Structure formats: structure tokens, C-alpha cells
Structure 1
């Protein structure tokens, strides 16, 4: 998991340094005056100050305790108490991590350079305008969070308020898997819920192990809109769900703001149900008895893809 890219902050929030927790590592995410997003360890190596409380000075971040400054690469660039800056401790530095800004979020990888970043073929050649949603704290693991996003059999029971009444019986699912990617197409009848506004559409599901889940809604001549979720593992069974919505440029349906409100309402319906599952992460060791039916086909393929991801990461670890 340390070799995969994970989101740690929304790009719009970097007017101030932001705290993040990724796989147990306490991080600070900030932006330099020139616009570069930076992800670093949070603890100042001088006396342990919390760098998320610090201030940006041009291309450096200053510790709130004694004002020591650190550049984007992690090295100490200024110690205010020293008359001779040449005497700065050479080993005083913050750990700095690779950074990528994508889909309105800042992503990083703890053991860089990291595996290949996610790719969504259905978005190729489509100009998308993005809006990042409010990050949601969820007491689930990454795999449970992704499976919940992908599961279609829970809609009538968890999402009746937002989606309206929907059939209990799930039609045969046309699921395809190619390595770490799983896809599925379904037709959406608008129904009577809050989703009815843009009318019927074709839904293109795309999921990639370990942590990307998207739905692209294709309304034909009106254009396409997207919701995407990327839960970031703070701990093994505790994630921060980063997510966002996008509209194809020129989309003739609901606005980004409207979509964001709706999708957040859907997410918030999921949180108490998914957060109470036992176990809170997929039982990879087989300690719990589970029974599957055809409606779980997407979930089962995701679990196979997750196993392939683990094997890929282990090979990368061996090469390193």
C-alpha cells in the first residue's frame, strides 16, 4: 500500500498547510508561493513542532515553535536563532514525498516513485471540469469503502431517500476485468428520487484496485457527468474518503454544485451502515464466513484485482 498513490488533501484547501494521516504517517500538505504542492513529514526535527501550524514563507514552510524553515525538498533553509546560517544542522530535514495533483486533489506515495497512477479509459478525450467534495471520515478499510461504492444491491435499502424506490432484484451484471481494472455498464432509469433531474442515462462503472471507484453518467446529447471516490487509508480499517464530481465541458444538465450536494447526501447515507460492518475491512484471511450471489460479481472481481495489486506491489518491493 505504501507503493500506491493516495490523495491526502484537496487542492482548494492549500491556502493554509493541511494535516494528513496516511498509513499511520503524519504528514503536512502545503503550497509554495510559486504554486508547487508539497507533501512532507509533519514533525519538525528541531523540537517536534507541528508543521501544519506553520506559515509559508515563499518557497519554505516555517515551524510555529522556533521558526525553522524547510524547503520543498525537505532541507532546512533557515534557522532564525543562528547568526551564521552556514551552521544550520546538515541533517535537519523533513521527509519529502512525490506529489501529483489530479482531479482536484493532491496525491502522494510513501515509498516512491510509486506504481503507475490510475487511468480511466472512458474519460479519454473528454474535457472535464472538477469540483472536490467535502472529505468524509469513514471507519472502514479501503477495500470495504470501494466495495460499498460499487455495490448495486444495497440501493433500495440505503439510498431510497436520494435514489427513490428501486428494484430489489438485480439484473445479470455485465462485469469485465482487465488486470487491476473492473468495468460495468448499466442503464439508469431516472425514477422519482433526487437523481431524476437529468433523466435516464447510461452508467459506466470503472473501478481500479486498490482505491479508485468512478461512475460516468452518459446522457447522450446533454453530455456526461462523473462522480469519483478515492478513499485514502489513514489506518488499516479507517479511511478518509476523498471524492469529487465532474461535468463534461458544456454539460446541459445539473451543475457541479448541484451534483456535489447530491453525491454527498448519497455518501452520508452510506457512512453509518458501512462503518458498522464486521469486520471493517475485507476479511482477506478468511476468518469470517461470507456468502455471495450473482449481484456480488463486481465485488468478487474487485477482490481478485486487489490480489493482483498486492502481487504487483510485492514485485516492486523486491526490485527496490
Structure 2
């Protein structure tokens, strides 16, 4: 008889509620309410008269209508069904069916969530205080650097799977030959990972494919056997800051964050800054990222189990999987993953 193994650790949604997560690009939330999901919760993101974003549960307390179907009235969001209006704190301040519409019962309120706008994203933490600050990325505020956004990339996968794929060096020559990797040079160079609280840091100098005619996006000067130095910061739970260099003044910054929509769905946001090719159309980088993420999506959505198993014995690991090994350890040690009940 084959012994049954206990289920492997998975993301702990209760703990993840205390982290900042991206829910939309800044440009996606304008004058009308915006619906999204975070950790299985339906949210409505909207801006008040001053342009400040807010997040509420997307559910009117009266008859359960989605507030995202309504509209913004000054500093309040109005339900489309009966016209009830809610402030940024989730308190209902106006019920038009009442003789005195301001005489609102105290229990007429919906949940409100901490919200901030930074780096061209709107971020939400479902519980406060949030555990970790967002990373410091001065390049995104530097006028000498051109910023391009790509995505979001909605996948039928756990956010941890999307994040691990982004930082997995071994798959580049096989999933992205001629774009991110060279099948003739598949060996992953030695590198080491250090952990500072919730941040994993690691540098690697690795082979990459030459710039292609379709996607001339990198700063290497050679056409054969180029390499690049990649300096990574992986910020738990689902954010990566990557700085690329080719030995000269040209530099590129990748800022990636995955939104854990629910247990089996995520959305990846990519923000790129570079100090070269300033006149190149943004569509060149965006088309490149679309190609890369579409190639990855098919593979990652096939992975089983669907959610990353954070117990190391659940999958086979090699030395070149040091990022995944340390990420899974850190998620457990920081209390962001646990055995399912």
C-alpha cells in the first residue's frame, strides 16, 4: 500500500491580506468605478473628486448589487440599483428613499481597504497595518529614464507560479529561444541568494540571445555570445525588482508584481524603465513582453499542482533552482504559506 503524503504548504491568504498588492494600473482607473478581485474578494476601485483612489468591497449592503456598476458622485460612489451613496471609508451617507436621506442607519456600511498609488499602480492591502513597504525604485521617478508599462497578464495560475517563472533562469533557452536564452548555452551559471527579512537578493551573469531584428530591446553591443548582469531583489510575496546591465552606461529596470486574484488566478504587472533608446516606440517593448508572457502562460498553466507547493520535498530541486528553494523557505518562515487545514 502506498503511503499518503500530507498536503504541501500553500499560500496563506489570511497572512497575505496584510501585504500590498497591485490591483490596477493608474491609467485604468479614471472617472468610472473599476472592478477587480484580490485574494478572492471582489473590490471596486474609484477616485474621489481630488483624484485619490479608494477601494471598497464591491457589494452594496442593501441588495448586494455591485458598486462597480454605479458611478462616482463627488467624493462618494453611488450604487446603480437604489442610489445609495458611500464615502471612502465605506460608510453610507445618503439613502434617497428616506424622507430625510441623511438619516442613515449606523450599520449601513461596506468594508473599506487601505489604498495607495505609486509607480503607476494602485495598491491595496486588505488588512492593516501592511507588513512590508514597497521597494525603492528611483529610476521610475528619474526624467532621464523612459518608463513603459506592459500587461496586466491574466493567467489561470497561482501568483506564486507566475512569480517563480519570472525568476527561473533554466527555462529561458527552451521557452524563449532567441529572445531570452540561447539553446546552445543552456547552463545556468553559479549564483547565490541572500535573504534580508522579506527580500531575497541575488546577482547572475548569464548567457542571453543576441538582440533580434523584431525586438531590439536590450543594451548589449555585441551580436554573438552576449552576456548580461542581472541584479535581482525578490520582495515577498509577489514582487520582483530587476536591474539589467551590459557593462556600460546602458541600464534597464524591470519591476514586476503579481496580483493574487484568487487561489487559481493571477495578473502580472510589468513596468520597465531604461536610459537608452528613448525615442523607440513603447510598442516595441510591449510587444516583446506580450510575446514572452504568452509563451510562458501555456507552460505555467500546465503545472501541477496549480499552486506552488512550499514544502521542498514536494518537487525535485537542483542547485540552479536556488531562487525557488529560498523563496519557498522564506514564504514559510515569514508566515505567508502554511499547510492547508
TM-score, normalized by length of structure 2? 0.82
When residues 138 and 274 of structure 1 are mapped into structure 2, their CA distance, relative to the original with a 3 A threshold, is same
Rounded Cα–Cα distance in structure 2 between residues aligned with 1:143 and 1:273: 14
Pair 1:298 & 2:323 matched:
yes
Q: Which residue of 2 aligns with 1:224?
A: 251
Pair 1:150 & 2:167 matched:
yes
Rounded Cα–Cα distance in structure 2 between residues aligned with 1:59 and 1:131: 31
Whether the 8 Å contact between 2:94 and 2:102 is mirrored in structure 1 is no
Rounded Cα–Cα distance in structure 1 between residues aligned with 2:67 and 2:296: 33
When residues 124 and 13 of structure 1 are mapped into structure 2, their CA distance, relative to the original with a 3 A threshold, is closer
When residues 309 and 261 of structure 1 are mapped into structure 2, their CA distance, relative to the original with a 3 A threshold, is farther
SS at match of 2:334: helix
Count of matched residue positions in the alignment of Structure 1 and Structure 2: 311
Q: Which residue of 2 aligns with 1:185?
A: 203
- In the TM superposition, 1:131-142 aligns within 5 A as 131-142=148-159
When residues 192 and 284 of structure 1 are mapped into structure 2, their CA distance, relative to the original with a 3 A threshold, is same
Q: CA deviation at 1:39?
A: 0.5
Rounded Cα–Cα distance in structure 2 between residues aligned with 1:187 and 1:251: 23
Q: Which residue of 2 aligns with 1:203?
A: 230
When residues 204 and 255 of structure 1 are mapped into structure 2, their CA distance, relative to the original with a 3 A threshold, is farther
Q: Which residue of 1 aligns with 2:334?
A: 309
Rounded Cα–Cα distance in structure 2 between residues aligned with 1:204 and 1:164: 17
CA deviation vs aligned residue, 1:144-187 (integer Å, no higher than 9, x gap)? 22111110000011112533634211111233322221122233
Gaps of 5+ in 2: 1-15, 221-227
When residues 220 and 57 of structure 1 are mapped into structure 2, their CA distance, relative to the original with a 3 A threshold, is farther
Q: Which residue of 2 aligns with 1:262?
A: 288
SS at match of 1:165: coil
SS at match of 1:38: strand
Q: Which moved more, 1:221-230 or 1:175-184?
A: 221-230
Rounded Cα–Cα distance in structure 2 between residues aligned with 1:291 and 1:150: 17
SS at match of 1:40: strand
Pair 1:6 & 2:33 matched:
no
Q: Which moved more, 1:54-63 or 1:229-238?
A: 229-238
Pair 1:272 & 2:291 matched:
no
SS at match of 1:163: coil
Aligned with 1:85 (options 101, 105, 110):
101
Q: Which residue of 2 aligns with 1:169?
A: 187
When residues 218 and 8 of structure 1 are mapped into structure 2, their CA distance, relative to the original with a 3 A threshold, is same
SS at match of 1:171: coil
Whether the 8 Å contact between 1:54 and 1:62 is mirrored in structure 2 is yes
Q: CA deviation at 1:285?
A: 4.9
Comparing both structures, which one devotes a greater share of its residues to helix? 1
Whether the 8 Å contact between 2:117 and 2:123 is mirrored in structure 1 is yes
Whether the 8 Å contact between 2:219 and 2:250 is mirrored in structure 1 is no
CA deviation vs aligned residue, 1:198-237 (integer Å, no higher than 9, x gap)? 3324322221121111322235654432222211112223
Whether the 8 Å contact between 1:155 and 1:163 is mirrored in structure 2 is yes
Whether the 8 Å contact between 1:18 and 1:29 is mirrored in structure 2 is yes
SS at match of 1:296: helix
Whether the 8 Å contact between 2:215 and 2:284 is mirrored in structure 1 is no
SS at match of 1:198: coil
Q: Which residue of 2 aligns with 1:317?
A: none
CA deviation vs aligned residue, 1:266-288 (integer Å, no higher than 9, x gap)? 111111100110111111356x7
Q: Which residue of 2 aligns with 1:283?
A: 309
When residues 103 and 220 of structure 1 are mapped into structure 2, their CA distance, relative to the original with a 3 A threshold, is farther
Rounded Cα–Cα distance in structure 1 between residues aligned with 2:265 and 2:152: 13
Rounded Cα–Cα distance in structure 2 between residues aligned with 1:90 and 1:43: 17
Whether the 8 Å contact between 2:178 and 2:209 is mirrored in structure 1 is no
Q: Which moved more, 1:51-60 or 1:200-209?
A: 200-209
